[in-house]
Amino acid sequence: MTNEDKQLETLLKREEKEEERSVQHALKDLKATEKANSKAHKAADKAMHAVEKAQTKEHKTSKTLSKATHKHDDAVAAVTNAERNIGIKQRHLTQLEGDLEQKKQHVDEVQRKKEQHDSIRNAKRAEMLGYAPIANGGADQAA
């Protein structure tokens, strides 16, 4: 083998080693990129799961909020209804108190008239029977 052949052989071996190192380096980069890609997929899947979980929680919370809002609206309606009923009951009570006072006055008037008429009747009886009128109506005086 000539010197040129040796140099060529050395050059070819060097090129082969460099290309082998380049291939190994490219394979190492590929493996690292594949690993990063796999991690990215896992992270994306995990993020998607977190989104789904958050959406489920949001739906559940929204449903709970809706129920609470409905209960609150019912409570507000009950308060409004109770306040309206208080007004009705108070007006009815005021009317009944007025009616009661009016009827008490009527009873007093009827009793007063009855006492007057009893007194007049007793006086007429006493006059008919010849008794003199006495302060208590002459009811306990005999002839």
Q: Label residue 84 by pLDDT band (50, 70, 90).
A: very high
Q: What is the DSSP letter of 138?
A: S
| Per-residue pLDDT tens digits for 53-83 | 999 999 999 999 999 999 999 999 999 999 9
State which amino acid sits at residue 25: H
- Contact of 101 with 86, CB cutoff 8 Å: no
The whole-angstrom separation of Cα 96 and Cα 89 is: 10
Q: Which amino acid is at 8?
A: L
Over residues 1-58, the pLDDT tens digits come to 788 888 989 999 999 999 999 999 999 999 999 999 999 999 999 999 999 999 999 9
Annotated domain spans of the chain: 1-96
| pLDDT at res. 143 | 40
